[in-house]
Structure 1
Amino acid sequence: MSQLPDLSQPLWFLAVTAVVFAIVVGRYFLIAGLFHLAFYRWQPQRWQQRKISNKAYKKDQFRKEVQWSMITALLFAVAGAIMGVLWQKGYTLIYTDWAAYPVWWLPVSLGIAMLLHETYYYWLHRWMHHPKVFRIVHKVHHDSNITSPWTAFSFHPLEGVLQALFLPLLLLVLPMHIYVLLLQLTLMTFSSVINHLDIEVYPAKFHKHPLGRWLIGATHHSLHHKQFKYNYGLYFTFWDKWKKTESPSYAVLFEEKTTAAGVGHEVVQKRAGS
Structure 2
Amino acid sequence: MASTPGILTDWPWTPLGSFKYVVLAPWVIHSTYSHMFGNEGTDLFYILVFPFLLWRMLHNQVWISLSRYQTARGKAIVDKGLEFEQVDRERDWDDQIIFNGMLFYLGRCILPRAKTNLTIWRGDGLVMTMLLHAGPVEYLYYWLHRALHHHFLYSRYHSHHHSSIVTEPITSVTHPFAEHITYFMLFAIPMISTLWIGTASITSYFVYITYIDFMNNLGHCNFEFIPNWIFSLIPPLKYLIYTPSYHSLHHTQFRTNYSLFMPIYDYMYGTMDKCSETLHESSLRKEESPDVVHLTHLPSAKSIYQLPVAFASLASKPHTSTWYLWLLWPVTLWSMMLTRIFGGSFVIERQRFDKHRLQTWVIPKYSLQYSLSWKNEAINRAIEDAILEAAQKGAKVISLGLLNQGEGLNSYGGIYVQRNPRLKIKVVDGSSFAVAVTLNSIPKGTTQVILTGNLTKVAYALAFFLCQRDVQVVTLKNAEYLKLTKSLNTTEGKVIHDRSYAQKIWLVGDGLSKQEQLSAPKGTIFIPFSQFPPKQLRRDCFYHHTPAMKIPKSLENVYSCENWLPRRVMSAWRIAGIVHALEDWNEHECGDTMSNIDKVWKATLRHGFQPLISED
Which residue does 1:245 correspond to in 2? 271
- Please point out which of 217, 221, 243 is paired with 2:243: 217
Does the 8 Å CA contact 1:207/1:254 hold for their aligned counterparts?
A: no
Once the two structures are superposed, residues 253-274 of structure 1 have per-residue CA deviations (whole angstroms, 9 ceiling, x without a partner) of 0011125767xxxxxxxxxxxx
Which residue does 2:86 correspond to in 1? 61
Residue 73, structure 1, aligned to residue 97, structure 2: yes
Once the two structures are superposed, residues 127-185 of structure 1 have per-residue CA deviations (whole angstroms, 9 ceiling, x without a partner) of 11111011112111111111012212111111111111224454443342221111000
Unaligned runs of 5+ in 2: 1-24, 32-45, 289-616
Which residue does 1:268 correspond to in 2? none
Which residue does 2:129 correspond to in 1? 110
- Please point out which of 45, 68, 78 is paired with 1:40: 68
Which residue does 1:140 correspond to in 2? 160
Residue 128, structure 1, aligned to residue 153, structure 2: no
Change (3 A) 1:133 1:57: same
Q: Could you say which structure has the greater relative contact order, defined with CA pairs below 8 angstroms and 6 or more residues apart?
A: 1
Residue 203, structure 1, aligned to residue 222, structure 2: no
Alignment partners' CA distance in 2, 1:252 and 1:202: 14
Alignment partners' CA distance in 1, 2:202 and 2:48: 16
Once the two structures are superposed, residues 196-217 of structure 1 have per-residue CA deviations (whole angstroms, 9 ceiling, x without a partner) of 0111120134444425312112
Once the two structures are superposed, residues 25-82 of structure 1 have per-residue CA deviations (whole angstroms, 9 ceiling, x without a partner) of x3443223223333433x57x632339x641113242332131x23322322232223
Change (3 A) 1:75 1:188: same
| TM-score, length basis structure 2 | 0.36
Does the 8 Å CA contact 1:94/1:177 hold for their aligned counterparts?
A: no
Alignment partners' CA distance in 2, 1:246 and 1:94: 44
Which letter does structure 1 place at the counterpart of 2:73? W
Secondary structure of residue in 2 paired with 1:251: helix
* Identity percentage of aligned residues: 20
Which letter does structure 2 place at the counterpart of 1:128? L
Alignment partners' CA distance in 1, 2:94 and 2:67: 23
- Please point out which of 209, 231, 238 is paired with 1:185: 209
Alignment partners' CA distance in 1, 2:149 and 2:276: 20
Secondary structure of residue in 2 paired with 1:48: coil
Unaligned runs of 5+ in 1: 1-9, 263-274
Alignment partners' CA distance in 1, 2:87 and 2:210: 22
Kindly indicate which of the two structures has a greater share of residues assigned to strand: 2
Change (3 A) 1:142 1:27: farther
Change (3 A) 1:35 1:172: closer
Kindly indicate which of the two structures has a greater share of residues assigned to helix: 1
Change (3 A) 1:39 1:141: closer
Change (3 A) 1:168 1:212: closer
Which residue does 1:272 correspond to in 2? none
| TM-score, length basis structure 1 | 0.76
Which residue does 1:161 correspond to in 2? 181
Once the two structures are superposed, residues 66-99 of structure 1 have per-residue CA deviations (whole angstroms, 9 ceiling, x without a partner) of 31x2332232223222321244x2279994275x
Alignment partners' CA distance in 1, 2:254 and 2:227: 25
Does the 8 Å CA contact 2:191/2:205 hold for their aligned counterparts?
A: no
Does the 8 Å CA contact 1:207/1:251 hold for their aligned counterparts?
A: no
Q: CA RMSD in A?
A: 3.2
Question: Which of 1 and 2 has greater Rg?
Answer: 2
Which letter does structure 2 place at the counterpart of 1:164? F
